[in-house]
Chains A and B, each alone.
Chain A
Amino acid sequence: MEPTNDQDPSYYHQVVDCQWACPAHTNVPGYIRMIAQGEFDDAYLLNRQSNVFPGILGRTCDRPCEPACRRDRVDGSPVAICRLKRVASDLKGDIADRLPEIPREKNGKRVACIGSGPSALTVANDLLPLGYEVVMFEQFAKPGGLMRTNIPEFRLPDRVLEEETQVILDMGVEVRYNTPITSLRALLDEQFDAIFIGVGAPRGKELDLPGRHDEIDSHIFIGIDWLESVAFGHVTEIGERVLIIGVGNTAMDCCRSSRRLGGRDIKVMARRPREYFKASPWELDDAEEEGVAIIVNHAPKRFVLDNGKLVGMEFEVLEWDEGARHATVLDSVIIPCDDVILAIGQENAFPWIERDLGMEFGEWDMPVVDTVTMQSTRSGVFFGGDAAWGPKNIIWAVAHGHEAAISINNFCNDIPLSERLAMGMNLVSQKMGMNEWSYHNDYNPSPRQKMSHVELTKRFESLDLEVELGFSVEQTVREVQRCLNCDVQTAFNAPACIECDACIDICPVQCLTITSNGPEEDLRTRLSAPATNRSQALYVSDDLPQTGRVMVKDENVCVHCGLCAERCPTAAWDMELFDLQIPYAASSNFIRIGTMSPSGAGDRVRS
């Protein structure tokens, strides 16, 4: 194998599994250490820099970081990253004076954001400190987009949503509430310098089965529309027997909301077996804890009506083959119910974009959007969040928002959109003295801490009672210690190595080997412990000075304990803090245009 290029930030970045998996590349180990030190403001701000909504995401994130977490490979359960994010948010003090300064003198550029969801708010958050004027168009009377309309209050309290959206709006966004955009052409006529479209995927999928449109009154609902009505208080009750069709996270929110609005016998109906569910496992657990039944292998066939009144739904009972590709129908059953909520997905809809504006639409009538610049085929019009490529999640919307802001800033300054700063890194040795490090390197065997919930007897008293109570001090202290500090990298300097084997002998997970070089396939079999996890990189050093062999490190289960560096007589191994430098709109301005204020958004919170 070629020697690993550890000067490329992406090598060490991928060692930090959580940060690599996070669409916004949040510095997870960095903020977890800050929590461990009681620096909650710092932890919150470090989060905010990349993911903008730590309080919201600390409750609702899809957590792509957690399945990726190295701790999962070590003891079978990942660090509760999301819960710790919430700790930072819950315990922070007043951070107002540490937010980016907004210049009094504007730069004369006006940007329109359609929608006030996470992607549009991120665009505003990134552009306002640079002197932009941002005008936001919101169809409802309150900001937040999907975060407000589709996430029930028992998961995301209004005060948290309010606080984190308001912080951005207070930077000087001009919000036009109750202003749905009905024509892009009309908006283009308003002569904005750039337009960002972050309208989400607002149309819930229909289930056109017999009986769907034959009701006299209405007891069949589209999931996201129903959640929206609940959020705005238009719906306050539901029948006792409720069927939810679909098993995504929207279905989970629907069934749990139903439970709070009068539902007693609630069934979530799934076509496929459990391992194929779209919902996050923890959301399924939470729903089941609340007495919701999850019924698998039932395919909806028709709505059963009696004199125009919904009385039940007929399902085909399926048996699936291995891999759940083909099903045979075993039987059919009628399950009686009072209400049905359809939560089988959502899609984009752009009836308000005229098709003669030079904006190309592709497959499924979706706008063609550049995956790097977020720009549509009409220059100056950008997309982000679910509006760009269909339903994803909040953290992806934030990531899109950051990229779109960079593009908009370039666009408004006549810089080609392709001119984007690459990611950078800082590496700083953590050595404080003989076997002393500036991080806590001992392995803590604590198991993952379990979130406590409001008691079931009290939970359904009101719709806005938050179920998760947050971590206690004791739980927080244990959970932060579970983080393996993957960002404290094992940095190797081949010329200093005397091949004494000390690091190999001490490594508690046998991830180091000195051996002759070879092709990766062969090398993976010849290590101290065979490197079977192919998704994890092998580090290969330059040739070692004494024998010409190479040091090979299997990154898979390294616990970053630093013992290799402690036992290294020549400091060929060092533990170095990796700090990923993520470019934002402000950082590119700093370099290219030089107009960033000294305390601008590009400032990094150092760990």
Chain B
Amino acid sequence: MPSITKPLIPLSPLPKNDLGLTIRDYEGAMSTLCAGCGHDSVTAAIVHAFWELSTPPHHIAKLSGIGCSSKTPTYFVRGAHGFNSAHGRMVPIATGAIAANRELTYIGISGDGDSLSIGLGHLMHGIRRNVKMIYIIENNGVYGLTKGQMSASADIGSRPKKGEANLLAPIDPVTMGLSLGATFIARSFSGDKEQLVPILKAAAAHNGFALIDVISPCVTFNDHEGSTKSYKFMRQHEVKEVETDFVPIRAEIRAKIPNDGAIEVAMHDGSLVRFRSVPKGYDPHDRLKVETYIRERHDRGEIVTGLLYVDETASEIHELNATPPTALAKVPFATLCPGSVELALIQEEFR
């Protein structure tokens, strides 16, 4: 942890967003993670994305479980709501919160341990229910908080800092998400904000569960030769053939987007995700093709990054449950809980 807090320098003019807030207003407490941790870069990308989207800080809810990654919600948007849940239990808490108040923007930060080991069951059901939230896995392949044991996302043959190479097959959240029917799937790299920030903005606009697997190197326990989740390995093996831009709602009116064969996906809120470049024959709506492409590249030792799959037509959790458009939390108690007479009538329907 640094000896001082990041000072607020009164440089003028600091650029302001539509709400009149500067980027400093979207920061949080000083990070206590190791210097050089990939997670801090993800935090910085989140700060950028929310500032650029002009999301009111008090309209954001940040949730996490346990782990290095799960500490990070403290380090961004200090004015947001937050819940630091038990290990692997962020999805159930988020589901409850989202059920009660659909008007907030939900962002869950998890890690490969929290999501792919202890919390894997919950993650799957979050995907299945299409809970409307941004779900980030800060994936570094090790349990950093407990001194660097290999995690469930470690590749076969990947060597820890000390000890034997990993023999177990990894769980890949991206292909798992594809198979479970996730409606927004992306992979990125903490060292590449140019890619990550637009993905985060698209995820915020997505109508459903937005799964983002971010390779985020553990600078202390997994950044050595033999690691497959180090800065160097990522820079040598990352493939960025799927490139996207996020076009906010207001820009549509301002600028006509040239129609040069790029794929455009209209998001639920009227914004646009534009695939600037994709490999030949690639279709971000075709689950099977996407999975084939990722697996082929994986077999060649390459890690595909970008916004890989989007399905904006699926219904999210509230639509599936036909809840009212206002947040349940704002529905008057008498309406929300109409009493025993109404309950009896409902029960009668199922007899």
Could you list which residues of chain A lie within 8 angstroms of chain B, going by C-beta atoms?
74-75, 435-437, 441-443, 445, 498-502, 504-506, 508-509, 546-547, 557, 559, 561, 563, 566-570
Beyond A498-B232, A500-B231, A501-B191, whether A567 also contacts B11 by CB under 8 A is no
Shortest C-beta distance, B82 to chain A (Å), equals 20
Would A566 and B232 count as touching, CB distance under 8 A? no
If the complex has contacts A501-B44, A546-B231, are A437 and B36 also in contact, measured as CB distance less than 8 A?
no
Q: Is B114 interfacial (CB 8 A cutoff)?
A: no
* Residue pair B191, A508 in contact (C-beta under 8 Å): no
Q: Which residues of A contact B190 (CB under 8 A)?
A: 500-501
Residues of chain A with a CB closer than 8 A to B10's CB: 74-75, 445
Residues of A within 8 A of B240 (CB): none
Q: Give chain B interface residues in 37-64, CB to chain A under 8 Å.
A: 37-38, 40-41, 43-44
Name the B residues within 8 Å of A566 (CB-CB): 2-3, 35
Q: Contacts of A508 on B, CB cut-off 8 Å? A: 6-9
Give complex CA distance A119, B72 in Å. 61
A500 touches B6 (CB 8 A): no
Least Cβ–Cβ distance between B20 and chain A, in angstroms: 19
Known: A546-B231, A567-B2, A568-B35. A501 touches B7 (CB 8 A): no
The 7 closest A-B pairs by CB, nearest first: A569-B36, A443-B7, A505-B44, A435-B3, A500-B36, A566-B2, A442-B4
Q: Which chain A positions have C-beta within 8 A of B38? A: 500
Residues on B with C-beta less than 8 A from A509 are 9, 11
Are the CB atoms of B35 and A502 closer together than 8 Å? yes
CB-defined contacts of B43 to chain A, threshold 8 Å: 505
Least CB distance from B134 to A in Å reads 19
The prevalent SS among residues of A at the interface is loop
Cβ contacts under 8 Å, B41 to chain A? 500-502, 505
| A498 cross-chain contacts in B, Cβ below 8 A | 36, 219, 223, 231-232
B285 at interface (Cβ–Cβ under 8 A)?
A: no
- Please name all residues of chain B whose beta carbon is closer than 8 Å to the beta carbon of A442 when the two chains form the complex: 4, 7
Instruction: With A498-B36, A506-B6 given, name 4 new contacts (CB 8 A).
Output: A499-B191, A502-B35, A547-B235, A569-B34
Q: Determine the residue in chain B with the shortest Cβ distance to A572.
A: B36
Nearest residue (CB) in A for B231 is A498
Set of chain B residues within 8 Å of A563, measured between Cβ atoms: 2, 4, 6
Does residue B71 face the partner (Cβ distance < 8 Å to A)? no
Q: How close is A298's CB to chain B, nearest CB, in angstroms?
A: 37
A546-B235, A569-B219 known; A559 vs B7 contact (CB < 8 Å): yes
Contact call A500/B217, Cβ cutoff below 8 A: yes
Q: In the assembly, what is the distance between CA of A256 and CA of B3, in Å?
A: 49
B36 touches A567 (CB 8 A): yes
Tell me, in angstroms, the Cα distance from A567 to B40 when the chains sit together: 10
Q: When A and B form their complex, what is the total count of cross-chain residue pairs whose Cβ atoms lie within 8 Å?
A: 91
B193 at the interface (CB under 8 A from A): yes
Q: What residue in chain A is nearest B38 (Cβ atoms)? A: A500
Q: Is the CB of B3 within 8 A of A436?
A: yes
A561/B4 contact (C-beta < 8 A), A500-B38, A546-B235 known: yes
CB distance from B21 to the nearest CB of A (A): 16
CA of A566 to CA of B4 in the docked complex: distance in angstroms? Answer: 9
B307 → A minimal CB distance (Å) = 21
Residue of B nearest to A74 (CB): B9
Q: A441-B3, A500-B41, A563-B4 are in contact. Are A557 and B11 (CB under 8 A)?
A: yes
* Alpha-carbon distance A195/B43, docked complex (angstroms): 68
> B253 in the interface, Cβ–Cβ < 8 Å?
no
Q: Can you report 6 A-B residue pairs in the complex whose CB atoms are below 8 A from each other?
A: A74-B11, A445-B7, A500-B217, A508-B6, A559-B7, A568-B36
A499 contacts B231, C-beta separation under 8 Å? yes
Chain A residues near B191 (CB, 8 Å)?
Answer: 499-501
List chain A residues, Cβ under 8 A from B37. 500, 502
Q: Kindly list chain B residues whose C-beta atoms are within 8 Å of the C-beta of A75.
A: 9-10
The smallest C-beta distance from B208 to any residue of chain A, in angstroms, reads 30
* Chain A residues whose C-beta falls within 8 Å of the C-beta of B193 in the assembled complex: 501
Cα separation A253 to B238 with both chains bound (whole Å): 70
- Asked if B334 is at the interface of the complex by the 8 Å CB criterion, the answer is no
The interface bits of chain B over 245-271 (1 if a CB of A lies within 8 angstroms of the residue's CB, else 0) are: 000000000000000000000000000
Establish whether residues B2 and A435, one from each chain, have CB atoms under 8 Å apart when the complex forms. Answer: yes
Q: Is B345 an interface residue (CB 8 A)?
A: no
Contact with A along B1-41 (1 / 0, CB 8 A): 11110111111000000000000000000000011111011
Decide yes or no: A557 and B35 within 8 Å by CB, A500-B191, A500-B231 being known contacts. Answer: no
List the B side residues contacting A546 at CB < 8 Å. 231-232, 235
Contacts of A506 in B (CB 8 A): 2, 6, 40
Residue contact B7 to A561, C-beta cutoff 8 Å: yes
CA distance A305 to B192 in the complex (A): 81
Residue of A nearest to B30 (CB): A506
Task: Give bound CA distance, A443 to B2, whole Å.
Answer: 14
Task: Contact check, A567 vs B35: say whether CB atoms are below 8 A apart.
Answer: yes
**B3–A569 CB distance below 8 A:** no
Chain B residues in 8 Å Cβ range of A557: 9, 11
Minimum CB–CB distance from B144 to chain A (whole Å) comes to 13
Across-interface contacts of B223 in A (CB, < 8 A): 498
- Which residues of the partner chain B approach A436 to less than 8 Å between Cβ atoms? 3
B247 to chain A, nearest CB (A): 22
Residues of chain A lying within 8 A (CB to CB) of residue B220: 569
- Which one of B1, B11, B36 lies within 8 Å of A435 (CB-CB)? B1
Q: Which residues of B contact A500 (CB under 8 A)?
A: 36-38, 41, 190-191, 217, 219, 231
Q: Cα distance A501–B6 when bound, in Å?
A: 16
Residue ID in chain B nearest A444 by CB atoms: B7
Chain A residues contacting B2 (CB-CB under 8 Å) are: 435, 506, 563, 566-567
Cα distance A546–B189 in the bound complex, in angstroms: 15
Q: Could you say which residues of chain B place their CB within 8 Å of the CB of A74?
A: 9-11
How many angstroms between the C-alpha atoms of A566 and B41 in the bound complex? 15
Give Cα A442 to B2, complex, Å: 11
From A437, A443, A500, A557, name the one whose CB has the most chain B CB atoms within 10 angstroms: A500
Task: Return A567 CB to nearest CB of chain B, in Å.
Answer: 5
Q: CA of A502 to CA of B1 in the docked complex: distance in angstroms?
A: 12
User: Could you tell me the distance between the alpha carbons of A445 and B223 in the complex, rounded to whole angstroms?
Assistant: 38
Q: How far is the CB of B239 from chain A (nearest CB, A)?
A: 15
* Closest chain B residue to A561, Cβ basis: B7
- Chain B's nearest CB lies how many Å from the CB of A437? 7
**Which A residue's beta carbon lies closest to that of B43?**
A505
Most B CB within 10 A of own CB, among A443, A502, A559, A561? A502
Closest to B6 in A: A508
Q: Given the complex of chains A and B, what is the CA–CA distance between A437 and B38 in angstroms?
A: 25
List CB contacts (< 8 Å) of B203-241 with chain A. Answer: 217, 219-220, 223, 231-232, 235
The A-contacting residues of B in range 57-82, CB under 8 angstroms, are: none
